[in-house]
Amino acid sequence: MEQPFLGGSVPRACDTKRGIAVKTILVVDDNVTNLRHVSGQLAGEYAVIMAKSGGQALAIVAEKVPDLIVLDIEMPGMDGFATLAALRQNAALARIPVIFLTANHDPETRIKALAAGGVDFVRKPFEKEALLRRIGLHLNLSGGRQRLEKE
């Protein structure tokens, strides 16, 4: 049986230094080297949970809903598109922003990723600052949407 959590930094409810809530990012990639690299780039800013398959990602979100998902497209078994489709079938998970991350530079793949419901598309290799800014942007947009829905 697959272990649902590969690892990552432990999600915390609050950053005690700044007194603000720490956002949780789920990073999904079948390549452990890529998974650790992406997670390492995010760990200083966010609580990071790692999954090495779409199935693990779905098991994780059933227990802990992340604020955003960084999702590889090309994975064996359940690829990124199938993983996103499964997430979108659950109303409680349908609004989680998903940023696709892939080594594929084909324009059709980018269009397919956005059409599938991804909020953004980042090509590997990526620049750390660009990825952090995209994540920050989509977390802010998601938070704003949630505040409007509460009103």
**Domain holding 46: CATH number?**
3.40.50.2300
Token reading at 121: 């598309």
8 lies in a domain?
no
Residue 135: inside a domain: yes
Mean pLDDT of 61-79: 97
| Confidence (pLDDT) at 7 | 54
In tens, the pLDDT along 93-115 reads: 999 999 999 999 899 999 999 99
Residue 16 domain-assigned (yes or no): no
18 located within any domain = no
| Overall number of domains in the chain | 1
In this prediction, residue 19 carries a pLDDT of: 56
Residue 4 has pLDDT above 50, yes or no: no
From the CB of residue 118, how many other CB atoms can be counted at a distance below 10 Å? 22
Instruction: State the pLDDT at residue 40.
Output: 94
- What does R_g of the chain's alpha carbons equal in angstroms? 15
Supply the range of the domain harboring residue 132.
24-150
Q: What is the pLDDT of residue 12?
A: 46
Q: Is residue 10 part of a domain?
A: no
Asked if 139 contacts 68 with a C-beta cutoff of 8 angstroms, the reply is yes
Using the structure block, give the residue that is written with the tokens 């990012």: 25
Q: Is the pLDDT of residue 85 over 80?
A: yes
